[in-house]
Amino acid sequence: MKETLQALAGREVVVDTRSPWMYIGRLAAMQADSLLLQDVDVHDCGETSAPRERYLLDSIDSGIKANRRSVYVNLDYVVSVSLLSEVIKY
């Protein structure tokens, strides 16, 4: 998995976690226990009425609304990492 994630370095990704938090940003680096993202929209899906997928689709349409320059995401909480360009609009 580490090699696969390293191949995504420099690309815009969506990181889904086991928590209500979702991260949309550029994958800068893969560390032993975390992902470093830059120009990141850190979004607490538990604080809004919009479902996670609706927020993600809106972010694709309007662009990433970065609210952090960089963020380390603990790999213990990561459920999935996807290229933003591969999110299917429905």
pLDDT for 4-35, tens place per residue?
888 999 999 999 999 999 999 999 999 989 99
Is pTM beyond 0.85? Reply is yes
Q: How many helices (H) and strands (E) does the chain have?
A: 2, 5
How many domains in the chain? Answer: 1
Residues recorded for the chain:
90
Q: Which residues contact 16 (CB under 8 A, 6 or more apart)?
A: 22, 52, 78, 79, 80, 81, 82
Domain that holds residue 9: 2-86
Please give the pLDDT value at position 78: 95
Residue type present at position 50: A
Q: What is the pLDDT averaged over residues 31-56?
A: 90
Q: State the CATH number of the domain containing residue 20.
A: 2.30.30.100
